[in-house]
A and B are shown apart, each in its own frame.
Chain A
Amino acid sequence: MLHNFSLGIVLFATWLLLSGHFEPLLIGLGIVSVALVVYISHRMDVIDREGHPIHLGPRAFTYFPWLIWEIIKANIDVARIILKRDMPISPTLFFVKGGQETELGQVVYGNSITLTPGTITVDIIDGQFEIHALTSEAADELERGEMDMRVTRMEGLKEQSE
């Protein structure tokens, strides 16, 4: 029920912000469409913790600034490699273990790895992430596991069980 409600709020906010019209007719049409979409999604049973992860809420807001900072640093590293005359790359394929327990957590970790220039998630096999890295330093950095730890912390299951 909470998920239905918050999905409705998010959809309606999107409607208002994208249309920019605040006449009664258009707001009324918005409410009708949002109600219809929430009803259909509810019947399809796709509103769950995975499809609409509001439980990540506050923890996500501490994770994303850190991720953006990592992305900026990695961008500068890769840009410097490209601009160097001899282009010192050492492509590496390797596996790294992810500590996430849900598929949502694995998706967040995998996408964070891919979003950071210099590393691409190629596959996930039983919680092992197969990764292509542009340099062996980028591979070492990922194997240190700080990003893994932060994603697992954001997933939040560990804290609940303790």
Chain B
Amino acid sequence: MIADIFSWIFILGGCVFLVIGGVGVLRMPDLFTRMHAASITDTLGAGLLILGMMIQGGFTLVTVKLFLIMLFAFFAGPTATHALAQAALSMGIKPLLSQDRRPDAVQSDDKGDGL
């Protein structure tokens, strides 16, 4: 019973963060800022959902498999995000910036001649 309550709290919390991430993707102005919103769904959204399901699973092999899913998501997620960001920047998609603290030489480097 107590386990049920906790697992529901985690699952509902995960759902809330998934929805917030979705709203963020719609509200953000450009590709790069949208990726920040999407990373909410990757980390806390998916993480809380899986944690809630692991509590439902108890001490079984299902829980182990859920843990492995979370582990792979945590390693694959940032790799994909990084690949997307680097591809976008090197192909000349300009991020909306309020500050650019990079040295000038690098700033003029990504004018969009790409790979």
Known interface pairs A20-B61, A75-B40; A132-B32 also in contact (CB < 8 Å): yes
Stretch at the interface among A47-55, A109-117, A149-157: A109-117
In the complex, the answer to whether A82 meets B37 with C-beta atoms within 8 Å is: yes
Interface centre among A119, A122, A123, A136 (most CB of B within 10 A): A122
Chain A positions within 8 Å of B79 at CB level: 111
- How many whole Å from B29's CB to the nearest CB in chain A? 8
- How many whole Å from A61's CB to the nearest CB in chain B? 14
In the bound assembly, the distance between CA atoms of A17 and B61 in angstroms comes to 6
How many B residues are at the interface, by size bracket?
A: 35 or more
Known interface pairs A82-B20, A120-B81; A87-B27 also in contact (CB < 8 Å): yes
Give the total number of A-B pairs whose CB atoms are below 8 A apart: 123
Known interface pairs A82-B20, A114-B78; A132-B85 also in contact (CB < 8 Å): yes
Chain B positions within 8 Å of A, measured between CB atoms, are 17, 20-21, 23-24, 27-30, 32-33, 35-37, 39-40, 43-44, 61, 64-65, 68, 74-75, 77-79, 81-82, 85-86, 89, 95-103, 106
- How many whole Å from A53's CB to the nearest CB in chain B? 13
- How many whole Å from A56's CB to the nearest CB in chain B? 14
Chain A positions within 8 Å of B68 at CB level: 14, 17-18
- A-B contacts, 27 listed (Cβ < 8 Å): A18-B65, A75-B17, A78-B40, A82-B40, A83-B23, A90-B99, A91-B30, A91-B32, A91-B98, A92-B98, A92-B99, A93-B97, A94-B100, A94-B101, A95-B101, A95-B102, A95-B103, A110-B82, A114-B77, A114-B82, A118-B36, A120-B81, A120-B85, A122-B86, A122-B89, A123-B86, A136-B98
In the complex, the answer to whether A94 meets B102 with C-beta atoms within 8 Å is: yes
Number of A residues, CB within 8 Å of B: 36
In the complex, the answer to whether A115 meets B77 with C-beta atoms within 8 Å is: yes
In the bound assembly, the distance between CA atoms of A112 and B28 in angstroms comes to 23
Chain A positions within 8 Å of B28 at CB level: 82, 87, 89
A71 within 8 A of B: yes
Seed contacts A17-B65, A75-B40, A117-B36; 19 additional CB < 8 Å A-B pairs: A18-B61, A78-B39, A82-B20, A82-B23, A82-B24, A89-B33, A93-B102, A94-B99, A94-B101, A95-B103, A114-B77, A114-B82, A115-B74, A115-B78, A120-B36, A120-B85, A122-B85, A123-B89, A132-B95
In the complex, the answer to whether A82 meets B102 with C-beta atoms within 8 Å is: no
Chain A positions within 8 Å of B, measured between CB atoms, are 14, 17-18, 20, 71-72, 75, 78-79, 82-83, 87, 89-95, 110-112, 114-115, 117-123, 130, 132, 134, 136, 139
